[in-house]
């Protein structure tokens, strides 16, 4: 009888969410909704495989901010932010009409 109680206690403790946001792969798969919810509310959730960090689940907004995949600036904005903007450099080109060729 005591073995059964011990097994129940182990199962209950395994069902507790990780304190630091570290999940073993099999637990993360089984409780993906919770991993998702915790990533949105508490921050990144690490998923390990064979004891090594494999994946980090982060909210989409945080990923876009960190990776620079947010709104892309246009070409005009890019050149306006350039250190050469307003520097007085002339970028005009001389019109080239070609060269004379004997036919």
- pLDDT reported for residue 47: 96
Residues spanned by the domain of 61: 19-80
User: What is the pTM assigned to this prediction?
Assistant: 0.52
Can you tell me the distance from the alpha carbon of 22 to that of 48, in angstroms, rounded to the nearest whole number? 7
* Angle, CA of 44, 48 and 53, to the nearest 5°: 75
Work out how many domains the chain is built from and give that number: 1
Contact 45/39 with Cβ under 8 angstroms?
yes
* 4 confidence band (pLDDT: 50, 70, 90): low
Burial tier of 89 (Cβ tally within 10 Å: 0-12, 13-18, 19+): exposed
- pLDDT reported for residue 9: 43
The answer to whether residue 11 sits within a structural domain is no
The answer to whether residue 4 sits within a structural domain is no
The answer to whether residue 89 sits within a structural domain is no
The answer to whether residue 93 sits within a structural domain is no
- pLDDT reported for residue 40: 95
| pLDDT tens digits along 90-100 | 778 888 888 88
């Amino acid at each position: 009888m005591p073995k059964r109680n011990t097994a129940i206690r182990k199962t209950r403790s395994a069902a507790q969410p990780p304190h630091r946001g570290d999940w073993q792969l099999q637990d993360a798969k089984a409780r993906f909704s919770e991993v998702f919810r915790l990533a949105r509310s508490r921050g990144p959730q690490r998923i390990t495989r064979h004891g090594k960090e494999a994946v980090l689940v982060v909210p989409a907004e945080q990923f876009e901010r960190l990776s620079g995949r947010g709104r892309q600036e246009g070409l005009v904005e890019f050149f306006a932010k350039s250190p050469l903007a307003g520097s007085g450099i002339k970028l005009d080109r001389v019109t080239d009409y070609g060269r004379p060729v004997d036919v």
